[in-house]
Amino acid sequence: MIRSLTIFVGFALGLALAPGAPGADSLPWPDTEAAKHARAWFDAFNAGESAMRAVYLEHYSPEALAARPIEARLGGYRDMRAQNGSLTPVSFPEVEEGAIQVVARNVSGEMVTLAFQCEPAAPHRILGIRVQMGEGGPGGPGGGAMVSAGPPLDDAAAVEAMRSMVSRAAAADSFSGAVLLARDGKPLLRQAWNRAERRFAVANQPETRFNLGSVNKLFTKVAIAQLAQAGKLSLDDPLTKWFPDWPGKSASKITLAMLAGHRAGITDIFNDRYETADRSKLRHNRDFVALFRDEPLWFEPGTSQRYSNGSYVLLGEIIAKASGEDYYDYMRSHVWEPAGMTATGYFAADDPTPDLAMGYTRGEGGKEPLHENVFTRPARGSAAGGGYSTLDDMLRFDQALNADKLCAPGWTDWVIGGPPPAQPRVAAATGRREAPSVGFAGGALGISADYTREGPITLIVLGNFDPPFTQAIAGQLRAIVRRMKS
């Protein structure tokens, strides 16, 4: 048996705001110290991860940061942002010098109540936040976790609630994609909404292939686990074993474990070079290396944690070197085919691939007219993200992974966020374990995917709108999952 794990992987690009969604400045705020801290929190929540990091440093008390470090708080932020999209304050039911309660509206139009508890003495920095869906008194766990309120649901009631919720969002053109809900690998809900291609009015189908964004990192991590299990590499290997000429005096301090855990200090691929690059020439994983190879590290290896697509591009190249196979060929032969994933792949943007959803975006600020995302994407995805899959293939992956068919149990645990096994080679499973709780999300402009497992329940949400729209729906669907009877 393994301990329950919940990991939410950050998006490949910054989250966009809902179109026309006002920021925290649109509502007059009370003139108190607690209100000033809360206002800064809302501005940062809607702006993105780097802004949240700054808010933790400036507006949270040392006591709060000692109890829960910034990197852990950023994980909670990603989860909460995925569930809600942007948050727009609408009222302040309770205001004190050292506390404030804020009712806000999320991107789906639902209300969320946040109660900020601050230091009793000036400067009244934030100690914690209690969050509750709906309008009313605060309740539930602190630190940004969402409460799954309501009575238990049987499978039929859960399906009805999900179908109704998604249908309303699709009718309002705030969701486009497909949803699958399964118990023990057997689908309870498998349905698509809105359009895969708007120019020709092609409808999304359950078989439509959607861009997974960073969910592809799961496949890369499985490949690393397989090669480690086979003794072809080690998580303790220094980067310089595989890239002897990697620049920088700290390169030898970087390990494969650090790359996989975003602790290496390697920078991102989505930078100024990417913005000015001829993206039509980014056709192989190795083509992305030049985007960040000469960039200085964000931090000394192992001293911090920051989400890095560049780290996973390097892991993809290490997979190729260790296996002697092309990265894409390895994924097809050793991950997708063993799992039965016949519709999954890294399809080039200019290849005539059938059943492929076009991504649609409202731009970085969420205020542009809806348009195709084709000019924001590389010609082909990388080991960090950009491959395509379907509802059925993702369910097959879920079942194969959790049945330890892709790698041995200890390595499966590592793939979904646990520690690596003590021994490099682990015997095959002799019995079923309790299924863990895991969650991964990925997205960019016009791309969004969410994979969640809660015990025997699997939820897959694939979309071709900007992340705040898909993830807001996914967050509400996860709340329903948590109410389902085991």
Both 473 and 332 in one domain: the answer is yes
- The DSSP bridge partners found for residue 460 are 180, 451
User: At 247, is the secondary structure helix, strand, or coil?
Assistant: coil
Q: Which residues contact 186 (CB under 8 A, 6 or more apart)?
A: none
Q: Which residues contact 91 (CB under 8 A, 6 or more apart)?
A: 102, 103
95 within domain boundaries: yes
Q: Residue 424 has what pLDDT? A: 40
**Domain stop point among 133, 158, 188:** 133
Both 117 and 222 in one domain: the answer is no
Q: Residue 23 has what pLDDT? A: 40
279 within domain boundaries: yes
341 within domain boundaries: yes
Both 356 and 451 in one domain: the answer is yes
d(CA 154, CA 140): 23
The single-letter code of the amino acid at 61 is S
Q: Residue 449 has what pLDDT? A: 94
Both 228 and 120 in one domain: the answer is no
d(CA 398, CA 60): 38
DSSP of 84-150: HSSEEEEEEEEEETTEEEEEEEETTS-EEEEEEEE-SSTT--EEEEEEEESSSS--S-BTTPPP--S
Token reading at 407: 């790698």
3 within domain boundaries: no
Domains in the chain: how many in total? 2
DSSP of 357-395: PPPEE--TTS-SPPEE-GGGS-SS-BTTB--EE-HHHHH
Per-residue pLDDT of the chain (486 residues; tens, 9 = 90+): 233 333 333 333 333 233 333 344 456 888 888 899 999 999 999 988 889 999 999 999 887 887 778 887 887 788 788 778 889 988 888 787 788 888 888 887 778 888 888 888 888 899 888 777 655 433 332 233 333 456 889 999 999 999 999 999 899 898 999 999 999 999 999 999 999 999 999 999 999 999 999 999 999 999 999 999 999 999 999 999 999 999 999 999 999 999 999 999 999 998 999 999 999 999 999 999 999 999 999 999 999 888 899 999 999 999 999 999 999 999 999 999 999 999 999 999 888 899 999 999 998 777 789 999 998 999 999 999 999 999 999 999 999 999 999 999 999 999 988 888 874 433 344 344 555 568 888 888 999 999 999 899 999 999 999 987 887 788 789 888 988 977
Angle at which helices 467-481 and 70-84 cross, to 10°: 90
Dihedral angle computed from the Cα positions of residues 316, 413, 182 and 107, in that order, rounded to the nearest 10 degrees? -70
CATH of residue 114:
3.10.450.50
**Domain stop point among 93, 114, 133:** 133
Q: Residue 118 has what pLDDT? A: 87
Both 380 and 248 in one domain: the answer is yes
Both 218 and 88 in one domain: the answer is no
Q: Residue 141 has what pLDDT? A: 27
Both 405 and 271 in one domain: the answer is yes
16 within domain boundaries: no
**CA angle 218–223–226, rounded 5-degree value:** 125
Task: Give the single-character DSSP code of 462.
Answer: E
Backbone torsion region of residue 180, taken as left when φ is above 0, otherwise alpha when ψ lies between -120 and 50, otherwise beta: beta
Both 226 and 120 in one domain: the answer is no
CB count in 10 Å sphere of residue 205: 15
414-447 b/e (C-beta count within 10 Å ≥ 16 → b)? bbbbbebbeebebeeeeeeeebbbbbbbbbbbbb
Q: Provide φ and ψ at 282, rounded to 5°.
A: -85, 85
CATH of residue 274:
3.40.710.10
Let me know: does 35 contact 102? Beta carbons within 8 Å.
Answer: no
Both 232 and 96 in one domain: the answer is no
17 within domain boundaries: no
Both 251 and 384 in one domain: the answer is yes
Q: Residue 267 has what pLDDT? A: 94
Q: How far is CA 86 from CA 20, 57, 83, 350, in A?
A: 11, 21, 9, 33
Both 128 and 218 in one domain: the answer is no
19 within domain boundaries: no
**Domain stop point among 113, 133, 153:** 133
Q: Which residues contact 476 (CB under 8 A, 6 or more apart)?
A: 83, 108, 110, 165
56 within domain boundaries: yes
d(CA 76, CA 478): 15
Domain that holds residue 54: 24-133
Both 120 and 232 in one domain: the answer is no
